[in-house]
């Protein structure tokens, strides 16, 4: 191990296990030590934090019409978000994607006839998961000093997807116990058990926060997010923003 720090504001290159790496330091000689829970400003300073949003504020993306259950069959429709880690290396040098939060807002066309509303999240390692439909979303780095691109490819909207392999169901969150209302906003915070907001059965507009398990999208893995409701008979339109970091 080197006895002096290598000054780097950005994230250094990864080093394979068993090899020496220089100490990582700041420009004033202080040593930077990685901890398990980074403050988000530190992640942003490193150029590791990314967000993705719907392309036009005030204009939502439509989901597939009449999604009434969660399915993973070949050619299935119902996935609204698909995030894929495109890193080719599956060794420790390949970046992992650590999910932070996901926020969706029903901008128009409330689901009709729905008696409940769920957000379901699953991981899979299908090489080709996206088939067609929806809109390609380009993540952006929140640090203006960096032009570093994300390792994530993302699609949102009315997607058709291939049958997933090695599916890991992560969570199935009940966000509404009745028909969602236009301007409802739901937020999932990954790695948090805290939650709050108004009663899910209320007919008024709601802003709700839900805890979700931590999620790591490994190289060549996908995260699929489905939104559905029993007896739903419409194609709701959603605004969204999603945040994560890559290390």
The rounded percent of the chain whose pLDDT value lies above 70 is 88
Q: How far apart are CA 94 and CA 198, in angstroms?
A: 41
CA angle 159-164-166, nearest 5°? 150
Cβ contacts of 39 within 8 Å, gap of 6 or more = none
Q: How far apart are CA 74 and CA 95, in angstroms?
A: 29
Q: Which residue has the higher pLDDT, 17 or 47?
A: 47
Q: What is the pLDDT of residue 213?
A: 95
Q: What is the pLDDT of residue 71?
A: 74
What would the pLDDT profile of 173-209 be if each residue is shown by its tens digit?
Answer: 999 888 899 999 999 999 987 765 556 566 788 899 9
124 Rama class: left (phi>0) / alpha (psi -120 to 50) / beta: beta
Nearest one of 76, 68, 63 to 167, comparing CA atoms: 76
Nearest one of 217, 213, 245 to 39, comparing CA atoms: 245
- Arithmetic mean of pLDDT, 76-103: 88
What is the radius of gyration, based on Cα positions, of the chain? Answer: 20
- Arithmetic mean of pLDDT, 59-65: 92
CB 33 within 8 A of CB 227: no
Long-range Cβ contacts of 202-211 (<8 Å, 24+ apart): 202/178, 203/178, 205/181, 206/176, 206/181, 208/175, 208/184, 210/173, 210/175, 210/186
Q: Which residue has the higher pLDDT, 205 or 76?
A: 205
Helix (H, G, I), strand (E, B) or coil at 190: strand
Task: Give strand pairing partners of 52.
Answer: 242
């Amino acid at each position: 191990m080197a006895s002096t720090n290598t000054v780097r504001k950005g994230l250094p290159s990864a080093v394979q296990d068993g090899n020496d790496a220089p100490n990582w330091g700041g420009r004033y000689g202080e040593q930077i030590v990685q901890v398990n829970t980074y403050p988000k400003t530190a992640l942003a300073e490193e150029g590791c934090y990314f967000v993705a949003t719907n392309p036009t504020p005030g204009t939502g993306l439509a989901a597939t019409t009449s999604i009434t259950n969660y399915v993973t069959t070949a050619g299935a429709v119902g996935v609204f978000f698909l995030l894929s880690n495109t890193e080719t290396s599956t060794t420790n040098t390949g970046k992992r994607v650590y999910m932070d939060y996901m926020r969706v807002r029903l901008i128009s066309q409330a689901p009709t006839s729905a008696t409940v509303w769920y957000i379901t999240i699953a991981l899979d390692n299908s090489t080709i998961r996206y088939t067609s439909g929806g809109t390609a979303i380009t993540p952006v780095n929140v640090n203006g000093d960096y032009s570093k691109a994300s390792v994530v490819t993302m699609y949102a909207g009315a997607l058709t997807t291939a049958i997933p392999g090695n599916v890991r169901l992560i969570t199935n969150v009940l966000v509404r116990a009745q028909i969602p209302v236009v301007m409802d906003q739901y937020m999932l915070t990954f790695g948090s058990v805290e939650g709050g907001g108004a009663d899910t059965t209320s007919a008024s507009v709601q802003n709700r926060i839900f805890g979700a398990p931590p999620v790591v999208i490994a190289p060549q893995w996908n995260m699929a997010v489905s939104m559905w409701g029993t007896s739903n008979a419409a194609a709701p339109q959603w605004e969204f923003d999603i945040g994560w970091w890559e290390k």
